[in-house]
Each structure stands twice: as structure tokens, then as C-alpha cells.
Amino acid sequence: MTVPSTTEATDAGPAPAPTPRRRGFGLTAATALVMGNIIGGGIFALPAAVAPYGTVSLLAFVVLSVAALLLALLFGGLARRSPVTGGLYVYPRDAFGPFAGFLSAWSYWTMCWVSIAALAVAVVGYVDVLIPLHGDHALEAVVALAALWLPTAANFAGTRWVGGVQIVSTVLKFVPLLVVATVGLFFVDADNFGPFNASGNSVPGALAASAALLLYSFLGVESAAVSAGEVDDPERTVGRASVLGTLGAALVYLLGTVAVFGLVPHDRLVDSGAPFADAVNAIAGGTWGGTAISLVAVASILGCLNGWILLAAQMPYAAARDGLFPRPFARVGKGGVPGFGVWAVAVLGTVLIGLNFTAGPDTTFRVLVLITTFTGCVPYLLSAAAQLYWLARGTRARVRPAGLVRDLVVAALSFGFSFWLIAGAGYAAVYQGVLFLFAGIPVYVWLRGRRETSEPTGPAGSDGVSVRGRP
């Protein structure tokens, strides 16, 4: 995956032009990557998690759908400027320097492996519908670890395999979910929805709190931007795939959540471990429908893990090429996948699952989701700030005059939404997220110091990437 950034002359004459890199994702695969990473455990687990807030959470879904589309447009615009692997790391780095890039990469990477652990835990509830686990925590941990390591193994087959798996898993889960959502609307009982605001807090407070949880269901909107180096014609494809994937996911979310709220009585939904299975049982009667949707849920989560593991390896890969992550993260295997990054994510996820499974799947899932809200929004904030920086410079070479107002509005609203969601995550999540973020500073100090003592001073670094990316 490493591409020479410059063509240098040697004593023997000009170096040959680098061989064009074969890319792995077209528009279909990139859109499936976005949808596959957005539609995962969230759509199956979160309706029950936000039920205590009441139907105000449905309004939060609408607000987040708008915010996600704005982020998709933001990343599409930024990818036109920097169509390379790394996305949310590259944008702050190019605008504000290596430390901002490192903080974004570290925070996003933390969000990825915490989110991956949460997804692996989320699969336990639906496996329990298929094969009763009887509350055996050790057995639940084994199921979660299997859900983590199976997609990890698939990643080592290469990026083309990952893209193919994303297409299959997206179709497998999207079609049944859409059918359930549309058919379920005919069986909705208005009495099941419960109160609009069941939390006892103010409506704005309940909206922000439920949105902070629900953001987890939209993480992945940046998937095509992070893997832009693996996408055909990224200047055009990243933006289109991000918008199409987000629109498709938002449609499934809104229809599916309304159906679940209207099919499962509110008091039962609050305590449900498999809300979509309960909703299907309410439509079909008996338990066979819940069993079928549980199979879909397991496939969905595994497909989502498949894509997220690749993304979690791509971000530190890009940073490692600039010397801002440990060098092993820049190693690429035969299949074009950063192998060390994949291993690191799987091992860290295993540790998290091992430390937290005794608290039970529901508690562990909620705690990890709120941490991902903070750690995910930090790179969103920095990316929006980077776009505002480029727009403030306003040179014709970098900003199209006809799109200035549109890009300014998109970037400003994206920044505002991200800030609001961090506030809604709550003090505990922000506290823990900040600790994770600051834990990376000693890593940056060590790597930066080692790099400055080992590399000659000059206009470009040894890899030519950092300086080349800046104006």
C-alpha cells in the first residue's frame, strides 16, 4: 500500500515512474463499505438502549440523519483535496500540523477498537436467541471473542475480499430489515410508543442524551474517506459513496426504529435484549420470526466488524508512514492489509472484552458506546475545523468560488453538531474519553523526538508525505 510520494533522480538517471496502484473499491463496494459500517450492531441494539428516553429518541434519529449527511458532504469535499488513505488523520495534519493529525488519528483509532469490542459484545444478545446461553458469562465471552476474531481472519485475505464481504453482508441485512420496517408499519399500535419524554429531564436534555447514544449507529459515515487510498477515482467516489451510504442507512434506521417502537410495548422494550427479534415476533406470532431476524442481526454485526477492523488498521497505517505512530503499523501484508494494525485491534478488543464481560453485555455495551461518542467526535471536530481553515484561506486554487458558501455552511454545522454530541455524552464518558486521548501524548512525544534526532533536517521528511501534504 506504500506509494512513492516523489520521483527522485539518481546517479543512474531519473527514477522510473511508480507503477500505478491497483485500487480495490469502486462506487458499489465503497457505498457498501459505508452502509455496512453504519448499519451494524447499532440498528439492532440501540432501540432498547434509548427507549428509557421515550419517543424523543425518534426525533434524535432525524437530527442525527441530517448531521450524518452533513458529515458525508464534509468528507467528500475534504477527499477531493486529499484523496489518500488516512482521511480523518490527513485533514487535520495538513491544516494544523503533525500534532493535530496525531490527536485525530489516536482518538479515531481508540474509537475504532473500543467500538469493535462493543459490537462483538452486542452480538451476544442475538446469539442468545438462537442458542440460549443461560447467563453464563464465560460462554458469553467466548461468543463475543469468536465474533471478533472471525472477521479479523477475513481481513487477512486482502482488501478486495473485505469489499466483497461488505457487499454480501449489506444486501443480506439491508433487504430483510427494510421488509421488516415497511411490513411492521402496518402492525404498529400507537399505544406501544409510550411517552414522548420518559426520562424526566428537559426535552433538550433528553434529546442530547439520546442522540449521544444514537451517534454510535451512524459511526462509519467517514468509512470511504478513511480508505480513500483504496478507492477508484476517490475525488468523486468518496463523496458519492458517503452520501449514498448514509441515505440508505438513515432510511433503514428511521423506518426500523419507528416499527420497533410501535410493535413492542414501551415497558417491554426498555428491558429487551433483542428488540428487533421481539418486534418480528409481534408481527408473525410465535418465535420463528425472532429467530430469523436474530440470524440477520448476527450476520449484520459480523459484516460491520469486517469493515471496521480494516478501518481501524488504515488510520494508524497512514500516521505510521509519517512517523507519528509506531513503525510496525505501516507494515502491509500480501493482501494489501496493514497486518500489524489488524492484530493490534483484535488483541486490544480481546482485552476489553475479557475485562468487562463480568458486568453483563448490556452494561458493557452502553459504557463503551458513550466512550466511542467522545472519541469519534474529536476527529470530526478537527476535520470540520480543517475545512474551515482551508475556506478561510480562500485561494482559488483550493476553494471553488461557486461552492464557498455551501462548503462553509456544511463545515460550520458539522463542527456544531459534533460539539453538541460530545456535550450530550455526559461527564463520565467525556472524562474517560479524555483519559484515552491524553494517554497518546507520551507516544507522540517519544516518536516525534526519535524522528527529529534520527532524520536529517530538510524541506521534507524521509517519506515526503507530511510536507507534501501541506500548502
Estimate the share of the chain in helix, then strand, then coil, as percent rounded to the nearest 5. Answer: 75, 0, 25
**Separation CA 182–CA 259 (nearest Å):** 8
**Separation CA 47–CA 27 (nearest Å):** 30
Domain boundaries, the chain: 20-381+415-452
DSSP string, 195-228: -S--SSS-HHHHHHHHHHHHHHHHTTTTHHHHBG
DSSP 3-state of 10: strand
DSSP string, 76-105: HHHHHH--SBTTTTHHHHHHH-HHHHHHHH
DSSP string, 445-461: HHHHHHHHHHS--SSS-
**Is pLDDT at 10 greater than 60 in this prediction?**
no
Helix 288-321, helix 98-130: angle, nearest 10: 160
Q: Any idea which residue has 500540523 for its cell?
A: 97
Residue 132 pLDDT class (50, 70, 90 cuts): confident
Instruction: Of 158-167, 211-220, 233-242, give the lowest mean pLDDT range.
Output: 158-167
Higher confidence at residue 452 or residue 456? 452
Q: Please, what's the b/e burial string for 251-266 (b: 16 or more CB within 10 A of its CB; e: otherwise)?
A: ebbebbbbbbbbbbbb
| CATH T-level topology, domain 20-381+415-452 | Amino acid/polyamine transporter I (1.20.1740)
Phi-psi region for residue 394, left (φ > 0), alpha (ψ -120 to 50) or beta?
left
Which helix (H) or strand (E) covers residue 308, if one does? helix 288-321
The model's pLDDT over 272-320, given as tens digits with 9 standing for 90+, comes to: 778 888 888 888 877 887 888 888 888 878 877 877 787 788 778 877 8
**Separation CA 209–CA 200 (nearest Å):** 12
Higher confidence at residue 231 or residue 111? 111
Tallying the residues shown for the chain, one arrives at 471
Q: Determine the pLDDT at residue 310.
A: 79
Q: Determine the pLDDT at residue 30.
A: 76
- pLDDT > 90: percent of the chain: 10
**Separation CA 240–CA 343 (nearest Å):** 31
**Is pLDDT at 461 greater than 60 in this prediction?**
no
Residue 462 pLDDT class (50, 70, 90 cuts): very low
The model's pLDDT over 408-454, given as tens digits with 9 standing for 90+, comes to: 889 999 999 999 989 888 888 888 889 989 999 998 898 888 776 66
Residue 226 pLDDT class (50, 70, 90 cuts): low
Q: Any idea which residue has 444478545 for its cell?
A: 125
Residue 219's identity, in one-letter code, is: L
CA distances from 137 to 93, 162, 211, 350 (A): 43, 31, 30, 15
Is the Cβ–Cβ distance between 100 and 328 less than 8 Å? no
Which helix (H) or strand (E) covers residue 14, if one does? strand 13-14
Is the Cβ–Cβ distance between 329 and 344 less than 8 Å? yes
Work out the number of other CB atoms within 10 angstroms of the CB of residue 354: 13
**Is pLDDT at 3 greater than 50 in this prediction?**
no
The Cα angle at residue 128 between residues 186 and 373, in degrees rounded to 5: 75
CA distances from 288 to 258, 279, 298 (A): 22, 12, 16
Instruction: Of 205-209, 358-362, 388-392, give the lowest mean pLDDT range.
Output: 358-362
Fill in the DSSP letter of residue 9: E
The model's pLDDT over 330-355, given as tens digits with 9 standing for 90+, comes to: 888 766 778 888 889 899 888 888 87
Mean pLDDT of the residues in the chain = 78
Higher confidence at residue 190 or residue 88? 190
Q: Determine the pLDDT at residue 442.
A: 92
Across 28-54, average pLDDT: 78
Q: Determine the pLDDT at residue 15.
A: 39
Work out the number of other CB atoms within 10 angstroms of the CB of residue 248: 19
**Separation CA 136–CA 158 (nearest Å):** 35
Instruction: Of 156-165, 185-194, 351-360, 420-429, give the lowest mean pLDDT range.
Output: 156-165
**Separation CA 1–CA 24 (nearest Å):** 11
Residue 16 pLDDT class (50, 70, 90 cuts): very low
The model's pLDDT over 112-126, given as tens digits with 9 standing for 90+, comes to: 888 888 888 888 888
The model's pLDDT over 66-99, given as tens digits with 9 standing for 90+, comes to: 888 888 888 888 877 777 766 777 889 888 988 9
